[in-house]
Structure 1
């Protein structure tokens, strides 16, 4: 069974929801339509002419890319210029393009976690927090006979998580009253007669982004036509999300050894670096893409070295003066997302019985070369 484009992207956004992206980031569907069945999906870092040719040859109807194909507002769509010609080719071959950028960087298991995994960083934390999920308190009143079923439905839908604990709730006893009207179909009671029913008040905590699905699950499990429930905002800080990761190696190594490992795992022929090659490093910050502006945060967090791309001359000088090492393997190390996204989205599709293939692009879009 082939998945349509909407299904593929729903799964993608379940993992890397748009709400995680930094303001004004160019994400989402940029070219074409998702309203079609897909035999194959191509995952790419950049959308170049070579990547589009690869998608055509593979008969992929969708490209999931990390970097936007439309970054600046279009003032014209000229097919005699490279940008317009690329968009023309995508449209002529009915290839849609969907962008997951900073939302994929920030998501748990996203680009920065992929890089941290590749470098075996342990006890990792966020480098720069960007948002927190607000919490709600859900209170629902349930007859005793269905209290366990409703509680289970709430937990399965994502309610009840507090820190390292799950299935958290509080229950108390009470009496519910109601009078069914002539058009009602009451689970308990008779039309026109006030009922007094022993009920349980179930209280639990709900992440705001799961509010709709938790309420839907509650309604489905609840026996009443019109369940009585309340939803309250909470001041409690929710789950944190952010850019970059910082963690430790199980064993310290020299900066030179780390440089060689970065070149190997990130598949880059060279890096730029700042620092003493014989320095012992243990605490490491990593941020895919352009992370020079976060060097001070990495130093404040205690990093011995930061691995990121596009570090400018003055930022490198500041790091040097502060005694912090820097490894710059280039922006292109984010290509780790090609295999990571293909494996994760492909696995989610398989679990739901879809046969749509998710393929990592084999095109190298690194633009810089050594002269």
Structure 2
């Protein structure tokens, strides 16, 4: 598979990864041959990047930590909960909890993998994919920091529901600085009212926009006044929003650019130790990404190295259809070769 801009997708190509709607149903299944109408529809519903099948890279897998069944289940339960809140109805925390258990089981079974955020986003599923990604990153950081299972479940649940306060709010009101109307307070109140949930889960929603230097919202907490769970979720949320901005006018960064941006936030906005763990677990150049090397050769990322996220294995294909020359460069071994640019 290759990860490409939808602007470069052509009719007749085959979809590499399933696209889900906001309620977890399959919008378009992997393996479907794309038509002009399908590509146009995907463009209209907000898809900007997607995976396509390619005979030269058919062995490339995205190495997802979560199974399709787990992702689909979390999407469904999140959609049901948020729709219930919008309608003023009660929502089922037990279903949230059982799906968090499934998610943590998948993560712990695949904890040697680097985190690659590869799900295809639409306007409809964006808020839920964001929540799943923040939960995924947060959980892996928590594992690396030695949290026990109960702590991991609290962290993962808080991460999954960190933006629940935005539910039912108009978009223009979601980032207001009026503290009592800020979505963090609203999220705290919604989660605190659920007695079956730990109060620490509610504090993730309350504190995930706090900053180490005290310039965050809603209370201007500093350093150790911010709970570890919230520090972890803050880093995951920041990364996710850098590569998938809330506002169309905001610049969308590539994963390696976002990591560099976050390093500049160390001990200002983000906790240094959390950032250190984050940089060990996130794939800077996800599988299927096209890149240009310092040798001026172009290729596609095919494999990752745990602990060396910036030094993947690159497959370079040269020549014409009848006489392809294929080679792979392992950047962990080829220490004088660097990735110069990411191509769409």
TM class, shorter-chain normalised? under 0.3
TM-score normalised by structure 1 residue count: 0.22
TM-score, normalising length: structure 2: 0.24
Structure (1 or 2) with the larger CA radius of gyration: 1
Q: In proportion to residue count, which structure has more strand?
A: 1
Higher helix share: 2
Higher relative contact order (CA 8 A, sep 6+): 1
